[in-house]
Amino acid sequence: MKNVSLAVTFCAVLLLASLTLRTQAQGPPPPPPEERAAMERGRALFQPSCGFCHGPDATGARGPDLVRSTLVAHDVKGDLIGEAIRNGRPDKGMPALPLNAEQISDIAAFLHARAKEAVESSGVPSDYPFEKLLTGNAERGKAYFEGVGGCTRCHSATGDLAGIARKYNSIELQAHLLYPDKKPILATVILPKGERLSGTVARIDDFIIGIRIGEKDGWYRSFPRKQVKIELRDPLEAHRELLPRISQAQMHDLFTYLYTLK
């Protein structure tokens, strides 16, 4: 459990640092209209349903601060937030709330927006020297990379990671170590007659899966989940599985090894 706590805490810090650096360099891009609408609907739902305990801005009251919670940091499209809302936390005095999938999705959008606001106002130095972070052992890091870490299943020191220490500054490299840029989840939907349709997931909840076939703005199809079979492939699944397993010492060793890939 100690390693899990260390990994979660370390990853959360790296994620905050990475997002802050991008914000400082580029400025926060405005969310698309549909995302803004979902955030506002979520705000309107959150305040009367959850605000009494968690505060109207989600920073905590009788209940905990959700803006900086690990649950929100690791939530993907409402999967963890939805479970907490639907089932409640009886042991902590939180009742289950009778909200549908769309309402839960809107609340998740609001909480992620609040978390992003907190990141963008945190202020992380972009020129922190690598040398102050090289506390690990490069040889042990290489052994982990090629061995129990399983990194070579997807990465190569002479291929996609060649020169990575020149591509990112110190804080960004730490962030990408465990929390790389998001990639779309791939899905194959198998229809009742056996036809298979493949694309990227545009929407998924307990009732509906929507995929976009072809390019980013390609043909959109949605299906009731009860009527189809679904095969999902998350390109970042290995990274998600790594978080509860990797120790803080292994993180530092791996980072020190990555620094040698110039």
Domain-ending residue, one of 92, 120, 148: 120
Final residue of a domain: which of 97, 120, 143? Answer: 120
3: in domain: no
89, 87, 251: which is closest to 176 by C-alpha? 251
Looking at residue 257, the DSSP 8-state letter turns out to be H
Per-residue pLDDT of the chain (262 residues; tens, 9 = 90+): 444 444 444 554 455 454 444 444 444 566 778 888 888 998 898 888 888 888 888 888 778 888 878 788 778 888 889 888 988 888 888 888 888 999 999 999 999 888 877 766 655 555 667 777 788 999 999 999 999 999 999 899 999 999 998 888 887 787 778 777 778 889 999 999 999 999 998 888 889 999 998 766 678 899 999 999 999 988 888 888 887 888 889 989 999 999 999 8
User: Residue 123 and residue 139: Cα distance in Å, rounded?
Assistant: 33
**Is residue 163 assigned to a domain?**
yes
Domain span at 209: 186-234
Shared domain for 85 and 202, answered yes or no, is no
What is the pTM (predicted TM-score) of this model? 0.50
Euclidean distance between CA atoms 157 and 118, whole angstroms: 35
State the DSSP string of 134-179. Answer: --S-HHHHHHHHHTTT-GGGT--TTTTTTTHHHHS-HHHHHHHHHS
Distance CA 88, CA 233 (A): 29
The CATH number given to whatever domain includes residue 111 is 1.10.760.10
Same domain for 92 and 51 = yes
Query: Which neighbouring-strand residues pair with 213?
Result: 219
User: Has residue 14 been placed in a domain?
Assistant: no
Flag whether 40 is in a domain. yes
Q: Are 176 and 139 in contact (CB under 8 A)?
A: no
